[in-house]
Amino acid sequence: MNRINFYSLALCGALLLAAACGDSKPTSPKGGTAKPQIAAPVNPHKSPEVLARRFHESLSANNAIQMMHLSMLGAPTNSWSDFSGKMFRNSLKILAKNLADLESAKPREERTDAEQARIFNLHAQRQQMSEAYTNNVKRLSIELPEMREHFLQRGFLDVVLQFKAAGLDPAQLTVSRVDTSKLTDQYQGIAMRGGPLTIWFTQNQTPLDITLTLVVAKVSDHGWVFVQDPKLNVPPVQGPAPEPR
């Protein structure tokens, strides 16, 4: 598994190049001016707002690879391991609490068959979750490339088709606002910044009531990524107002 962070590598290279240009003294002809330095690109994972705008840029440019790198699919393996580990431990914690509540509610001899079956099922579910998590970690190096390929072949197209169904061309839209008010420090019940953000658009300087929801999270050793399928929110078509009597 390649652990190289694509965007971090590109950013470091650009910063080194800019530093080299800054340390060198130009030897332009007399009366000439030195070429202006090119600013280093902004890390797309720096903030949820930057991520949202880069998402729209990748969609407008019809660039599936760029969009994939903005998602959890583009995160390095150690970020995947940390993220999935936190999600697994939180799910296991919730299941263990439900199990403890059921077992402490009544003594074994007072439980109905349905209640005892529920407890048995939770024990089995906990075992299955642990086994599935262990297997998924072992298979990550195999399944991650497959998931990336699926996104390039289908996931990106699904996003494009949402805009097409709404009669919109992403290249003709401008991001007017990124609403991050619903982000929380306890995403999915774990100590991680994340949640849904809303992207608002304008078309020909006209505000649209169609928005895009992007569920994002700040993962370790990488930054902000989107972690669920993007969803275009199209309000129901309003019929003509009734004529006054």
Q: Which residue has the tokens 């107002």?
A: 241
Q: What is the pLDDT of residue 139?
A: 82
Residue 58 buriedness (CB in 10 A; 0-12 / 13-18 / 19+): buried
pTM metric for this prediction: 0.72
Does 206 map to a domain?
yes
| Cα separation values, 159 from 59, 151, 238, Å | 8, 10, 24
Number of separate domains in the chain = 1
Query: Which amino acid, 203?
Result: Q
CA nearest to 189, candidates 81, 93, 71, 72: 93
CA dist 21 and 12 (Å) reads 14
* Strand, coil or helix: 65: helix
* Strand, coil or helix: 237: coil
Q: Identify the domain containing residue 187 by its residue range.
A: 6-17+42-233
Does 243 map to a domain?
no
As a whole number of Å, the CA-based R_g of the chain is 25
Predicted confidence pLDDT, tens digits, the chain (245 residues): 333 233 333 223 322 222 222 333 333 334 444 454 554 566 889 999 999 999 999 999 999 999 999 999 999 888 888 888 898 999 999 999 999 999 999 898 889 999 999 999 999 999 998 888 888 878 888 888 999 999 999 999 999 999 999 999 999 999 999 999 999 999 988 999 999 999 999 999 999 999 999 999 999 989 999 999 999 999 986 444 455 55
pLDDT, mean over the chain:
82
* Strand, coil or helix: 15: helix
Q: What is the pLDDT of residue 1?
A: 33
Per DSSP, what are the bridge partners of residue 233?
Answer: 211
